[in-house]
Amino acid sequence: MMTHDYALQVDNLAVEFDTYGGVVQAVRDVSFKLRKGKTLAIVGESGCGKSVTVQSLMGLIPMPPGRITRGSARLGNDELIGIAPAALNAIRGKRIGMIFQDPMSALNPTMTIGRQIAETLVVHRGLSASAARAEVIELLRLTQISQPEKRLDQYPFEFSGGMLQRAMIALSIACKPEVLIADEPTTALDVTIQAQILLLLQELQSSHGLSIILITHDLGVVARMAHDVAVMYAGQVVESGLVDDIFYRSAHPYTLGLRAAMPSNDPRKRQLQIIPGSPPDLFAPPPGCGFADRCAQAMRVCRDTPPPAYGHTHQARCWLQDPLAPASPVTSLMVNNKAD
Amino acid sequence: MLIEATALRKFFSLSGGRQVHAVDEVSLGIAEHEVVGLVGESGSGKTTFGKTLIGLHDKSGGEVRYRGELLPARYGAADFRKQASEIQMIFQDPYGSLNPRMTIFEIIAEGLAIREGRSLAALRDKVVYWLERVGLHADHLSRYPHEFSGGQRQRVGIARALIVEPKLLICDEPISALDVSVQAQVVQLLGELQASMGLSMLFIAHDLSMVRYVSNRMAVMYLGSLIELGPAEDLYFRPLHPYTQLLIASNPEPDPEHERQRQDQLISGEIPSPVDLKAHCRFAGRCPKAEARCFEERPALREVLPGRLVACHLL
Amino acid sequence: MSKQSFQLSAADFAPAPPATHAERIVRPSLSYWQDAWLRLKKNRRALSSLYLVIALLLFTLLGPWFWTQDYTLQDLDMISQGPSWGSAALVVEDPGAWEGVRGDALPLPQGQELGATTQLTVEGAATTQYVRLYWNAVPGAQHYLIYRNDHAPDSGQDLGLPLGETLRPEELSFADRLQLRPQTYWYTVIASDGLTEAASGTTLAVTTERAITTTQARERGLEATVGASVQLPAHPFGTDYLGRDVLARIMEGARVSLFIGIVAPLLFIAIGIVYGGICGYFGGTLDIVLMRIADFVIALPFLLFMILFRIGFGIGPGESGIFPMLLALVLLSWPSSARLVRGQILQIRGEAYVQAARMLGARSLYLIFRHLVPNVMGPILVTLTFAIPMAIFTEAFLSFIGMGVSPPTPSWGAMSNEGIRTMLSSPHELLFPAFFISLTVLAFNLLGDGLRDALDSRLRSRE
């Protein structure tokens, strides 16, 4: 595919943080592509680097102690890594919208919802105050907030969690961004509200042609929302591909493990399979595969050599994909179609 | 029943004489060796019920009996001391539930140190035993809570509660703040410990999908009321109350094909605030099937099928 | 990447031995206080202010061991001297009475006007103890006027300070003992006939040498031989209006300032911990009543109570009252720390770990000392660090307006008060105590800022 088919393309990104006694390699060589008008889900446990990855693209990680040591990220044809903070600021909010797990902390508690959204419209789109107000009402209606004319003049604390997340979405799409980054948007919400918000995001995607990066730890949300999936573990993308590849042809033991650990509505699934242990601390990542210590199929090579990425559109970083590896529960990718 | 609440009530007073009906006449018992899953969205009163049951909140009405003995409506330190070896609790927030100034050893040993007044050093072997039983390691003893991940902390909380070998364990949303994969670890660990120790458990959670793997029975709460109660698998796969049906249907299934074919069943609106509730079905306002009578009369919890209790006029 | 796999053999793909310990924690272990210390160390501003505070404490506590000058010793020869590193002085005889030089009064020849004085001479050595002048009689002079100037007079009008005049025509000498410093003076003697002064006089430049008398030398334990050269004590911060060493007084004054500054906050925060702790832990009606009392105390005007306490203790104006000052500070400042502690305790009391301890059967005392107090120590330490400069400044202010420590006891505020009178002629008397007040207040404030950042638990996380 050509470059212009991608809304956002990230290559070989690496982010480090200085801490007491050493360096945490939070993101180690992450690449992914976000197709235009599609949803890319980045899945992983806390501490796997999924939030740091997108925050570093947006210039939202504190530097120091953080720093981007390598990589590039192109929004359309524009590079995001290494540009001046002011330029990044202009892109953030205007061309990339963001919503967070906790909308309360992203909104100013002393300003009405309407004013906060209107301010963005005035700054980024140069609207007049009255035009902005009309636009805010339209945005609130779009995000299915009832009585937008009344809600407009309310403060964040007067909104419930679900309503606040809707307001946050209204704010993030106010400038008609190309890309929407949703960082665990429904983790703090109840399942019934989660269902409402996810549906809203799907509707906005089809009406506005939004490209969405959805960060989550919940494979259920991924299954509902994603077109493409990148599974992250220990600061790396361990498997990536189309959503059906990931769910029905899992090529990495970690993805298999995640799926087995998910509860299901399927009455036949009577037992949860767990992945034992905890992810490695990226303060001192293991020399080989980060998952080797928790992997039932671990081989000698996994312990001391990091696996390469096998596959092309469906990729996996796992030695089990090597032609020399024995048969295993993971789906074998076409080994002659290796990534370069 | 090991512990049984009858018409338990907990109201909180607000200024202006208004009252929050956090728990409104909930009757629920837990038999010996039984695990009851208590499920509801935030604001449903499930956590308040759990805390009122064991004395962390004063009771506003109703009674709780433990092995037939009436528990006090208001607890003092002596009452907690008396029940410490019988009832313990693990908490939702893995960050707030461990004292940041204490080492893992001091935290886990706390129950024994308080009960037996023994020096901490004498307890080391037992603490190490429990630490390993929850999947941690003896070299974690001298570390502080902030050095652990959420799941590891939650396991420390489990070891702290179980080292005094209680009969009843209240798990207050122990998995809500964790990643799904870690939730499975904690659920499995609690299941193992429950089976090996013969524990009775009240497992509070905000969705049913994970809870069904550990529960014998499940109870669903909405706005301070118990609306459905039944055997776990039966209730999960054949929910009777309209709310339970929607709650289960809302949960995304980790199966893209299934999700693509999903018929959207959304509950409109959000759980209302439980202030000064009127006497009608708590769910009537959001219920897609509500009839006139649902707005007039509060349905009682009654047995509609053998072992299945539902509070709904329509059944 | 494909090359890598060629270098691998089938043996590499044999199953690995099971992992030993998948829950390993590799980072160094840090307790709350260790972690806070590391954060503080990274904050350069806070760290330097910590060093400054330590230096100030050492200066106060150990200073007098090294700087042994008596802070009460007055040296009227050394009044309001600027900073100096000591100087040599000649030992001279006690001035005693100088009989002076007498001559005959000469009549004024007819038709002549009074002439200028001639032969103006210094008798003996010119020292800072005395300058003895004599001159030849001027015909017709009834008495003589003596002037002293710091620079060479450039006209007859610019003769400088009138030192005095002789009383009789026979007196042809004058001894100057007025605040002499080691420098060059220009003396002018002008004859007068009782009505008019002579049109011109004679000017003599005299360079004085620093000297002390044998008596003074004996008093200071120096060699008391006339003509010996002795070394006078250094005054790096100069001397005050009574010739007392400012450095010694700053050190001594720091004791009062820091005593009030540290003891008062310690006391009122201790009261605040107990009071706020009781309110926060027990709550209910007791809490409401106690907090209304605290609100009442906050509303009391500090200065009024300060005055009342002084009167109550029978301390009149101009007398030192450290104790009433301490009492007023403690009695009127505790409510703010009580409020802080109460808020913290209320917050922590609801934490899950406190509930867990209650479930485990913990008694109140155990809860308070094991869970509540250790977790409020951070904010309390920060409050203490901010309360210290406040108390130091209050002490200085009170002493400055004469409500606190009064002379002769030195305190930085009292010294500033004394120094402000001579602010224009010898600014060092004000500048040094004021500088130390500012430095101390700044150092404690910066340290408090750094501590607050370092102890902020919100910043603590795993990632």
Measured between beta carbons, the chain A residues lying within 8 angstroms of B207 are 190-191
Residue B278, SS3 per DSSP: coil
The mean pLDDT of chain B is 88
Q: Which residue of C has its CA nearest to B145?
A: C31
Average pLDDT on B58-74 reads 91
Domain, as residue range, for C347: 45-70+242-459
Q: Does C362 touch chain B (CB under 8 A)?
A: yes
Look at B77 and C27 and tell me if their CB atoms are within 8 Å.
no
Residues C108 and C256 in one domain: no
**Which of A147, A157, A192, A243 is the best substitution to test chain B (most B C-beta atoms within 10 A)?**
A192
Residues C179 and C275 in one domain: no
Q: Are C153 and C186 in contact (CB under 8 A)?
A: yes
Please report whether residue C15 resides in a domain.
no
Closest CA to C448 of C38, C45, C33: C45
Q: Give the confidence band of B96 by pLDDT, cuts at 50, 70, 90.
A: confident
Please report whether residue C4 resides in a domain.
no
What pLDDT is recorded for position A222?
Answer: 93
> Could you tell me which residues are beta bridge partners of residue A181?
A98, A213
Residues C263 and C153 in one domain: no
Please report whether residue C225 resides in a domain.
no
Residue scoring higher pLDDT (C410 or C316): C410
Lowest mean pLDDT among A273-277, C220-224, C356-360, C415-419: C220-224
A122, A153, A174 - which closes a domain: A174
Look at B100 and C358 and tell me if their CB atoms are within 8 Å.
no
Lowest mean pLDDT among A81-95, B83-97, B193-207, B223-237: A81-95
Q: Does C2 touch chain A (CB under 8 A)?
A: yes
Residues C203 and C281 in one domain: no
CA angle C363, C364, C367 (to 5 degrees): 90
Q: Is the pLDDT of residue B135 over 60?
A: yes
Q: Give me the total of CB pairs closer than 8 Å, taking one residue from chain A and one from chain B.
A: 126
Structure tokens that stand for C329 in this block: 């500070």
Q: Give the confidence band of C22 by pLDDT, cuts at 50, 70, 90.
A: low
Domain, as residue range, for A126: 108-174
Topology at the third CATH level for domain B3-86+166-310: Rossmann fold (3.40.50)
Please report whether residue A81 resides in a domain.
no
Burial track A65-78 (b if 16+ CB lie within 10 A, e otherwise): ebebeebebbbeee
Please write down the long-range contacts of C222-229, taking CB distance under 8 Å and 24 or more positions apart. Answer: C222/C91, C223/C91, C224/C91, C225/C91, C226/C91, C226/C92, C226/C93, C227/C90, C227/C91, C228/C90, C228/C91, C229/C88, C229/C89, C229/C90, C229/C91
Average pLDDT on C273-283 reads 88
Residues C308 and C411 in one domain: yes
Please write down the long-range contacts of C323-326, taking CB distance under 8 Å and 24 or more positions apart. Answer: C325/C260, C325/C395, C325/C398, C325/C403, C325/C404, C325/C405, C326/C260, C326/C263, C326/C264, C326/C267
β-bridge pairing B35-39 and B217-222: parallel
Structure tokens that stand for B211 in this block: 């809870």
Look at C30 and B144 and tell me if their CB atoms are within 8 Å.
yes
Closest CA to B51 of C367, C355, C281: C355
Average pLDDT on B24-28 reads 91
Instruction: For residues A101 and A51, give the distance between their C-alpha atoms in angstroms, rounded to a whole number.
Output: 11
Q: Is the pLDDT of residue C3 over 50?
A: no
**Amino acid, res. A237:** V
φ/ψ of residue A158, rounded to 5: -85, -5
Question: Who's near C234: CB < 8 A, 6+ residues apart?
Answer: C84, C85, C86
For the segment C355-397, what is each residue's pLDDT rounded down to a tens digit? 999 999 888 888 888 898 888 888 888 888 889 888 888 888 8
What pLDDT is recorded for position C77?
Answer: 67
Q: What is the CATH number of the domain that holds C62?
A: 1.10.3720.10
Average pLDDT on B108-116 reads 88
Instruction: For residues B224 and B282, give the distance between their C-alpha atoms in angstroms, rounded to a whole number.
Output: 8
Q: Give the confidence band of B36 by pLDDT, cuts at 50, 70, 90.
A: very high
Please report whether residue C361 resides in a domain.
yes
Please report whether residue A67 resides in a domain.
no
For the segment A203-238, what is each residue's pLDDT rounded down to a tens digit? 889 988 899 999 998 899 999 999 999 999 999 999
What whole-number percentage of chain C has pLDDT above 70?
94
Number of domains forming the structure of chain C: 2
Q: Are B94 and C353 in contact (CB under 8 A)?
A: no
Instruction: Give the number of residues written for chain B.
Output: 315
B neighbour chains, 3+ CB pairs within 8 Å:
A, C
Q: Give the confidence band of B264 by pLDDT, cuts at 50, 70, 90.
A: low
Measured between beta carbons, the chain B residues lying within 8 angstroms of C461 are 146
What pLDDT is recorded for position C457?
Answer: 55
Q: Are B253 and A220 in contact (CB under 8 A)?
A: yes
Residues C256 and C183 in one domain: no
Query: In which order are the strands placed within the sheet that holds A78-79?
Result: A22-35, A6-19, A66-75, A78-79
Average pLDDT on C139-167 reads 83
Q: Does B166 touch chain C (CB under 8 A)?
A: no
Residue C51, SS3 per DSSP: helix
Please report whether residue C429 resides in a domain.
yes
What ipTM was estimated for this complex? 0.89
What pLDDT is recorded for position B149?
Answer: 86
Residues C356 and C425 in one domain: yes
Q: Which residue of B has its CA nearest to A269?
A: B213
φ/ψ of residue A242, rounded to 5: -70, 155
Q: Which residue of B has its CA nearest to A257?
A: B181
Instruction: For residues A226 and A244, give the distance between their C-alpha atoms in angstroms, rounded to a whole number.
Output: 10
What pLDDT is recorded for position B181?
Answer: 83
Q: Give the confidence band of C113 by pLDDT, cuts at 50, 70, 90.
A: confident
Closest CA to A236 of A28, A16, A44: A28
> Could you tell me which residues are beta bridge partners of residue C91?
C212
Please report whether residue A97 resides in a domain.
no
**Which of A299, A328, A340 is the best substitution to test chain C (most C C-beta atoms within 10 A)?**
A299
Look at A305 and C26 and tell me if their CB atoms are within 8 Å.
no
Q: Are C368 and C281 in contact (CB under 8 A)?
A: yes
Q: Is the pLDDT of residue C451 over 90?
A: no
Number of domains forming the structure of chain A: 2
Q: Which residues of chain A fall below pLDDT 50?
A: 1, 336-340
Q: Is the pLDDT of residue B167 over 50?
A: yes
Measured between beta carbons, the chain A residues lying within 8 angstroms of C13 are 299-301, 319, 322, 324-326
Question: Who's near B121: CB < 8 A, 6+ residues apart?
Answer: none
Residues C339 and C198 in one domain: no
Residues C426 and C343 in one domain: yes
Instruction: For residues B99 and B105, give the distance between their C-alpha atoms in angstroms, rounded to a whole number.
Output: 12
What pLDDT is recorded for position C318?
Answer: 67
Residue ranges of domains in chain B: 3-86+166-310, 97-165
Q: Is the pLDDT of residue C80 over 90?
A: no
Please report whether residue A102 resides in a domain.
no
Query: In which order are the strands placed within the sheet that holds A96-99?
Result: A96-99, A179-183, A211-216, A39-43, A228-233, A236-242, A315-317, A309-310
Alpha helices in A143-236 (DSSP H): 148-151, 161-172, 191-208, 219-225
Q: Residue C28 is nearest to which of A20, A302, A338, comparing CB atoms?
A: A20
Residues C264 and C386 in one domain: yes
Residues C64 and C99 in one domain: no
Query: In which order are the strands placed within the sheet that holds C131-136?
Result: C118-123, C131-136, C173-176
Average pLDDT on C212-222 reads 77
Q: Does C104 touch chain A (CB under 8 A)?
A: no
Q: What is the CATH number of the domain that holds C143?
A: 2.60.40.10
Please report whether residue C8 resides in a domain.
no
CA angle C429, C62, C244 (to 5 degrees): 30
Residues C65 and C132 in one domain: no
Q: Are A75 and A96 in contact (CB under 8 A)?
A: yes
Residue scoring higher pLDDT (B193 or A106): B193
CA torsion B187-B192-B198-B201 (nearest 10°) is 0
What pLDDT is recorded for position B221?
Answer: 94
Q: Give the confidence band of B4 by pLDDT, cuts at 50, 70, 90.
A: very high
Residue scoring higher pLDDT (B274 or C394): C394
Q: Which residue of B has its CA nearest to A255?
A: B181
